[in-house]
Homo-oligomer: A and B are copies of this chain.
Amino acid sequence: MQTAQLLVGLDVGGTKTAALLTDASGSMLGQTVVPTRTATPDELLDSISQAIHLVLGQAQAMPPQIQRIGLGVPGHVDPATGIVHLAVNLNLQNYPLGAALSARFETPTFLENDVRTAAIGAFDALQLTEPVDSLAYVSIGTGLAAGVILNGRLHRGHNGLAGEIGHMIVEPEGALCNCGLRGCLETIVAGPAIVRQMLAAEPDMQIQHAGDVYETAVRGNPNAQKVVQRVSQHLSQTIQWLIMTYDVEKIVLGGGVTQSGDAFLAPILQELACLRQQSPLAAALLPDEKVHLIPSNFNPGVWGAVNLAKQTLLEPLSAPEKS
Contact surface of A with B, Cβ cutoff 8 Å: 133-134, 146, 148, 150-151, 155-165, 167-169, 172, 177, 179-182, 233, 237, 240-249, 275, 278-282, 284-285, 321-323
Contact = CB atoms under 8 A, between A and B. Distances in A.
9 contacts: A133-B323, A148-B245, A158-B248, A161-B244, A162-B246, A169-B275, A180-B280, A181-B278, A242-B245
Given A133-B322, A169-B237, A240-B168, A181 B245 contact: no
A167 B244 contact: yes
A160 B279 contact: no
A280 to B, nearest CB: 6
A174 to B, nearest CB: 12
A237 to B, nearest CB: 5
Contacts of A282: 179-181
B172 A247 contact: no
Contacts of A240: 168-169
Number of this chain's copies in the assembly equals 2
Nearest to A240: B169
Contacts of A243: 161
Nearest to A155: B150
B244 A245 contact: no
Contact of A157 (B160, B162, B167, B246): B246
Contact of A168 (B155, B181, B233, B245): B245
A182 B160 CA distance: 33
B133 A165 contact: no
A101 B27 CA distance: 55
Given A244-B164, A248-B157, A172 B237 contact: yes
A246 B245 CA distance: 8
A197 to B, nearest CB: 17
Given A169-B275, A180-B281, 4 more contacts: A134-B157, A159-B247, A161-B247, A162-B246
A244 B168 contact: yes
B157 A247 contact: yes
A320 B169 CA distance: 32
Nearest to A157: B247
B248 A245 contact: no
A168 B322 contact: no
